[in-house]
Chain A
């Protein structure tokens, strides 16, 4: 096991690439009563088309999410039922680029970990089980269709991207999931739930050697050499459309303003990730010009505005979202403000404050066992390690920020999605 330590944070963890191919992170957290375990595969809603050995397979939208639902079903009983015996709170989540299975507990950690490792390694897909789940997922899809925030985000991605599967809803549609069957789920499982495509992270007050030994005993599958390669379509640099709108039962309009960024490889580097995050903080700083302009003009409120860097395999964008009476005006102010940064550069004081905020948000991650595990997994999938962030942020210079703004933002790479009130 390789040990990583940050003297400044007073934290350490261990990493091992197991013989099975599984990446294992073991993170002791002294004096914590909670434990958290996550096992994740690099398989999300964007991995719809792939090459398995030499066969090209195309799957319906929503299949990764469907598989996540069905993996909880074991031959003799449901994994949730087994977790209920150990008292752990378990769940799973499918996103665009990964599927995670996790649990938290304060007792019986090993027993729960065994359940997690067992059900992820032992799929049990039957046609009757698939049919039964379809009704439940249909209701989940409908639940999200009634959420203006989710709908606005999906519509935005559909406007930013022409071909990339990131534009599709993670859960798919009622139509697409009707094409899913047990055979297809098995094929996807064999392709993406290969342990070399997966990462396990354990956080809690335990002995790391003891944990590793326990995990080692519970890895059943011999490492299969399935060669899987996801296929992504060519994606133009331009956005598909600048504006999309839909009507729903809301009072104020919901909006998502997105900027589509050019990507040069599968994932952005750790450094680019930090730089892009700091840029968003500068643009939308609460003490900054754009934010205060929007507040003073009563276009947003402090409760209803957010932003995020949205990145994954062959996609990267910056998204500003919220509620407003006039989303078009909000978009105009943000776009003009960004162009001013692009033309005049970033002010050193703002840059220094944004770095401080970035630093404090990053160290906050170490206060919760769940956020440590989630961050480690996300970083592992992008090819970097958790302490690199803290070390790297201090030596990022203002020139890199200005260069990245020029690369990432221009007058045309934006799209605005609006959900407005039913008349």
Chain B
């Protein structure tokens, strides 16, 4: 077991360090959580991209990257996501641990200093980010928005979610809209930056072989001068039973028809959601799931037919790609498999297989720096910090009755179908 220690830097800012000599790299991530609001998604997306571009010390992309390359090709990345009703943006660096530099160079402290420069000393003048950089990064986010349509499987999932959560906060796109991105200026972005540092909830995660007391001191010093009181509490997504399933379809020039069925469930974090996760694994989450064995292996209708459960919103999605003429057949088989579980048609073998699969995946999480960090980051908005071992124990104790109970609280909300044009 890796040793995890957590320290509160100030109210709403927490630092967790996983001390491990397992890896040849080390990693540090600054993760910012903000409640979903209109227009904030686009601003935060452009902001995190701008922060990864340059800073006061390295004033352009080229110089910053020269520095990163000198630090053993330190890999700087940003990520934009949503967890339930929260926007999540993070800036992270993965780089060679001190034990593996060629001439015993101290890489960790240099890299930590650099990421602190990017976050706390960005390139700003007269309370505004550099317009040229903002413009370039706006284009980058617009391209991410545009690129969503290129991957038809992802596109279908996005469209299903958008229609399902049309009037709810979690329905807001993680990148925001193109028109909102276009309205952003260097000045407006600086206000968002200040507010993010002052009042968003922040989780800083680090995995390294070194002591981190210097880093804690540094973080405390940096946050002390800018931090204001938190202005929000985390609010979970609300569960509503849909009146009737919505059917949405779209036509494009594609070779294959794709569809996504979105279901709502009341299993939403911070409540217990593990039994629902196990249900989803049995239903369509593993290679011997009910959907894989029936829709693909028995009926040979598709290459993929799977389910995924999002515990932050309580939604479960079933996705598949098929010949359009087989859509009704596939849809009714998916619903038929759900009814079967609701009627108790589920074997101990199926339950044990799915438990075994989930438990083994949880056991291996500490072998991946990225997955280990993500594990805790996903729980942070809900004030939880369950370890993979605790999760595995909970999964092992779920009964058949728990699973059947879950299956009876699953409500079809939206079906999105991407059809062939012409």
Number of chain A residues whose Cβ lies closer than 8 Å to a Cβ of chain B: 67
Q: A302 is contacted by which of B140, B253, B288 (Cβ under 8 Å)? A: B140
Chain B residues with Cβ under 8 A from A104's Cβ? Answer: 364
Task: Compute how far the CA of A28 lies from the CA of B258 in the bound complex, rounded to whole angstroms.
Answer: 43
Kindly identify which residue among B62, B95, B322 contacts A287, using a CB–CB cutoff of 8 Å.
Answer: B62
Inter-chain contact A295/B136, CB cutoff 8 Å: yes
Kindly state whether residue A100 has any CB partner on chain B within 8 Å.
no
CB distance from A29 to the nearest CB of B (A): 9
> What are the residues of chain A within 8 A of B391 when measuring CB–CB?
none
In the bound assembly, the distance between CA atoms of A368 and B72 in angstroms comes to 19
Which single member of B25, B252, B258, B288 contacts A249 (CB below 8 Å)? B252
Docked Cα-Cα span, A359 to B321, in Å, equals: 41
The stretch from A78-86, A329-337, A402-410 touching chain B is A78-86
Measured CB to CB, the closest approach of chain A to B324, in angstroms, equals 11
Q: In the complex, how many angstroms separate the beta carbon of A304 from the nearest chain B beta carbon?
A: 6
User: Given contacts A287-B62, A301-B140, A303-B143, are A368 and B367 in contact (CB under 8 A)?
Assistant: yes
Are B356 and A31 neighbours in the complex by a CB distance under 8 Å?
no
A308 within 8 A of B: no
A8 CA to B104 CA, complexed, in Å: 11
The one of B69, B94, B143 in contact with A286, judged by C-beta atoms closer than 8 angstroms, is B69
Which residues of B from 221 to 264 have beta carbons under 8 Å from A? 252-256, 258
Q: Name the residue on B nearest A250 (C-beta).
A: B150
Q: In the complex, what residues of A have CB within 8 A of residue B255's CB?
A: 142-143, 145-146
CB–CB B136/A360 < 8 A: no
Is there contact, CB below 8 Å, between A84 and B72?
no
User: Bound complex: CA of A265 vs CA of B303, how far in Å?
Assistant: 38
Chain B nearest CB: distance from A69 CB in Å? 10
B100: contacting residue among A9, A33, A304, CB under 8 A: A9
In the complex, whether A107 has a CB less than 8 A from a CB of chain B is: yes
Smallest beta-carbon distance B321→chain A, Å: 5
Q: Please give, as numbers and ranges, the residues of chain B lying within 8 Å of A354 by CB-CB distance.
A: 69
Contact of B69 among A32, A105, A248, A357 (CB under 8 A): A357
For A140, the chain B residues whose CB sits under 8 A away are: 303
Q: Assuming the A-B contacts A251-B146, A303-B140, are A286 and B288 also in contact, with contact meaning beta carbons closer than 8 angstroms in the complex?
A: no
- Establish whether residues A32 and B367, one from each chain, have CB atoms under 8 Å apart when the complex forms: yes
* Given A85-B353, A139-B302, A361-B73 contact (CB < 8 Å): yes
In the complex, whether A364 has a CB less than 8 A from a CB of chain B is yes
A31 and B96 alpha carbons, distance in the complex (Å): 20
Nearest opposing residue in chain A for B257, CB measure: A142
Task: Give the distance to chain A from B144, nearest Cβ to Cβ, in Å.
Answer: 6
Partner of B96, one of A88, A132, A360, A422: A360
Contacts of B95 in A (CB 8 A): 360
Report the separation of the CA atoms of residues A32 and B90 in the bound assembly, to the nearest whole angstrom. 27
Is the beta-carbon distance between B287 and A80 smaller than 8 angstroms? Answer: yes
Name the residue of chain B whose CB is nearest to the CB of A419.
Answer: B150
Say yes or no: is A319 at the interface (Cβ < 8 Å to chain B). Answer: no
- With an 8 A cutoff between CB atoms, is A356 at the interface? yes
Chain A 332-367, CB within 8 Å of chain B: the 1/0 string?
000000000000000000000110111111011011
Separation of A358 and B95 alpha carbons in the complex (Å): 12
Q: Scan B373-404; emit 1 where CB is below 8 A from any A CB, else 0.
A: 00000000000000000000000000000000
B322 touching A139, Cβ below 8 Å: yes
- B73 and A360 form a contact (CB under 8 A): yes
Q: Mark B173-192, 1 if CB is under 8 A from A, else 0.
A: 00000000000000000000
- Decide yes or no whether A383 CB sits under 8 A from chain B: no
In the complex, which of the residues B143, B150, B364 contacts A301, with contact meaning CB atoms closer than 8 Å? Answer: B143
Q: Is A90 an interface residue (CB 8 A)?
A: yes
* A285 CB contacts on chain B under 8 angstroms: 65, 69
The residue from B254, B287, B364 contacting A106, defined by CB atoms under 8 A apart: B364
| A:1-26 near B, CB below 8 Å | 8-9
Residue of A8, A139, A298, A357 touching B136 (CB-CB under 8 A)? A298
Q: Which of A87, A104, A105 is packed against the most chain B CB atoms within 10 Å?
A: A87
The CA of A57 and the CA of B94, in the complex, are separated in Å by 49
Q: Contact between A84 and B353 (Cβ–Cβ < 8 Å)?
A: yes
List 5 other contacts, CB 8 Å, given A105-B360, A136-B296.
Answer: A34-B364, A84-B356, A87-B356, A249-B253, A356-B69
Question: Which 9 A-B residue pairings sit nearest by Cβ, starting from the closest?
Answer: A357-B73, A87-B356, A251-B146, A106-B363, A286-B65, A34-B364, A142-B256, A287-B66, A301-B140
List 15 contacting pairs A-B, 8 Å CB cutoff, sorted by A.
Answer: A33-B367, A85-B356, A87-B356, A88-B360, A106-B360, A107-B356, A143-B255, A146-B255, A287-B65, A295-B61, A360-B72, A361-B73, A363-B100, A368-B367, A422-B253
